[in-house]
Chains A and B, each alone.
Chain A
Amino acid sequence: MSSTSQHLLLSPAELAYLHGSLSLITPGPIRPDGRSPTQFRPLTAETGILPGTNGSARICFADGTEAVVGVKAEVEKTPLSPYEFVASTEGRKDHTQKKSGSRKSKKATGDEEDISMDVDEEAAGANDKIRGSPDWVELSVEIPGLRDDDSGTVFLTSMLTEALLADGEFVKKLWINRRFHWKLYLDIILISPPLSYPLPLLSLTTHLALLATRLPRLKSEADEDPMFDDDWAAATFLYPRQDTSAKASNKSSKPSSAAAAPASRPPITLLVMAVGDNIIFDPSKEELAVADSAVAVSVAEGPASESESEPEPESIPATTTKRNLQLLSVRTIDPPSRLTPPGVPNSVNAAAWGTMTAATPTTTTAATASATEGGAAKHPDARVTETEDVVGVWKAPRGGAKFGMLGAMVAKVLEREAASPRSQGAG
């Protein structure tokens, strides 16, 4: 759990008002900046800003927070254990057998469809051989004014790393051959002071940087020492773009697929919060201060499943191809609302001439005596406000998110992500 607490100068009355407007049911929540509940903050983004890196991106949110991510890759030798060596050679044998088998079938039928099958099987064989290790990715987060070992920074780092490594597919992209692999360093820098909880910003910027990341094209074959193409223009994207892959697999299926949209996308971590029964995306600092619960949901998108679109390639437009979304991780975040001071209802507020005097029909001497013992015994209303909600009076939320709400939040993230193909080819 990380604490997202920062100095927030809102009084209990303001918090109560904000909470009230965010938990409205009939017109939906009214957010201070006028966004709809699932709308993100407007942002400006650019990629490829640093030619010295393999991939870089910069995102500036409208509230002024800004982050820069640089991705650097180095070739590293894979340490081979004897066991691994045996396993991988066996894998190779299997792979060659498969390949010869498919060739025979190709001769028998001589059909065009078999060529694609052959390609598929070859890819599948290669996938068996390809392995990855979580050590191949190193992620660091730098937040101004905070130490590297600050608990918040460490939590952010581990959350972003976790999203990247969750499905084990990402590290496989770094595989070169049996002896070598890429080591990827992701360095995330928050340029602006942390005005709001920076998780969505950092995640989005990392996402963009990874989309823009390119690795030099491999010239060597098999298990040779790797040799790379000097030409940066020939470098391949870590997340290959769709148009090239579509051409390679089958030319007929996608005539006008999205110009250069990658087939799969890096994971993204979204911050979602709940107020009352409302689910609100990408909360600002003020909204987070009244959150009943906040959750970070990591979602990744795999390649759109080809098998579904293949039977009738003409009937399915490119825009409605089913997106293959995967839920990677869900983490609850400790919202700063837990640390906010509670409001005092009028019933126990002496300054507001509440029921205080009426509720204590005691003599003045007795009142002063009992005041030292504690107000709770004297005023039954005080105990009520400790435990129960009074409408319009702010009380810091207690307890975690309800199971039903957690499920609803995750479902909403997946639904929303599936509905909106992000246009992130900025810059």
Chain B
Amino acid sequence: MPLDTSTYNLALLRVDGRRWNELRQQKGQLGVQPSADGSAYLEMGNTKIQCIISGPNERDLSKSTSSASTAPTSNGAGATVAVSIMIAPFATVDRKRRGRNDKRLQEMQTTIASGLAATVQGQSYGPRSTIHISLNVLSQDGSLLACLINAASLALVDAGVPMTDYLVACTAGSTSSYAAADEEADPLLDLNTQEEQELPFLTLATLGATDKVVAMVCESRVQLTRLEGMMATAADGCKGVRDFLDGVVRDKGELMVQEGAIGRGEVVSSMDLD
């Protein structure tokens, strides 16, 4: 056991000083890569992700054999979403080099691809086009899947791909892993690596601020009675993340208006920028 979180009950403060329902500090940026069709940089705590989008392009048959996971949008009538994750060897505390065919990465790619395929309105592109989403993990400190989903969602906005809403994700855990302390167990929001290694947790992705669950991943054993609380906490966290992402996009829009890249009311007539 790498860490003892039993001190939580003393002051109801977590190892990094947060309360149970607090998100970590977040930082987001749109359009960080000028040569890409869309790009975003997202930090949630010490998890740092850069997402690059190329496409929608005509499907490249030579690339379909690569390790990217794909999912068709609009029941096969729309563009395909292809996701590939690259975790930098220096992202973790101990250097670890992962192969491209890592099973866990493949699973995360599939989850993200199918989750985004539910949100992206790909029918305007046609079934022969592909949106390539490549996610680079520069630093890794918990809630990896959730951060990847949020970063991809942000980059898709930058790329101008039509979506019904942001696909946002957040993790939630439970303070104790054994059945005895069932009553005192608190749900926790947005876990870091230390907490993830010790506590049961799940990742929940919802469509924007609604409670519509798009994806849920839980790889640890958890008491069924606690699941509901964890899901509710995660859904609340998703709302917070959605507000944050929306803020990033609006800031960027405002900046573009100020810089004269777009005229006020020209493109953003339906958006309230005040």
Residues of A within 8 A of B (CB): 49-53, 56, 60, 63-66, 68, 70-72, 74, 140, 142, 144-145, 147-148, 185, 187, 189, 191-193, 195
Contact = CB atoms under 8 A, between A and B. Distances in A.
Nearest to A146: B66
| Chain B at the A interface: SS class | loop
Interface stretch (B107-115, B132-140, B178-186, B256-264): B132-140
Interface in B38-60: 46, 48, 50, 52, 54
B90 A195 contact: no
22 contacts: A50-B90, A51-B46, A51-B139, A52-B139, A56-B90, A63-B35, A64-B34, A70-B89, A71-B90, A72-B89, A72-B90, A74-B94, A74-B95, A140-B97, A144-B84, A185-B90, A185-B95, A189-B88, A191-B52, A192-B33, A192-B35, A192-B52
| Chain A at the B interface: SS class | loop
A64 B33 contact: yes
Nearest to B97: A140
Nearest to A193: B54
A50 B48 contact: yes
A192 B38 CA distance: 11
Interface residues of B, number: 28
Nearest to A195: B35
Given A144-B86, A187-B89, A192 B36 contact: yes
B63 interface: yes
Nearest to A185: B95
A52 B91 contact: yes
4 shortest interchain CB distances as A-B pairs: A64-B35, A70-B90, A64-B34, A187-B89
B35 A70 contact: no
B93 A52 contact: yes
A56 B48 CA distance: 14
Contacts of B19: none
A66 B50 CA distance: 11
Interface of B: 33-36, 46, 48, 50, 52, 54, 63, 66, 84, 86, 88-95, 97, 99-100, 134, 136, 138-139
B134 A68 contact: no
A329 B93 CA distance: 34
A71 B153 CA distance: 30
A189 B33 contact: no
A270 to B, nearest CB: 22
A64 B37 CA distance: 11
A60 B86 CA distance: 19
A236 B242 CA distance: 42
Contacts of A187: 88-90, 95, 97
Contact of A64 (B36, B46, B48, B138): B36
B95 A50 contact: no
A91 B135 CA distance: 51
B100 A50 contact: no
B98 to A, nearest CB: 11
Contacts of A51: 46, 139
A51 B86 CA distance: 19
Given A63-B35, A145-B66, A53 B54 contact: no
B82 to A, nearest CB: 11
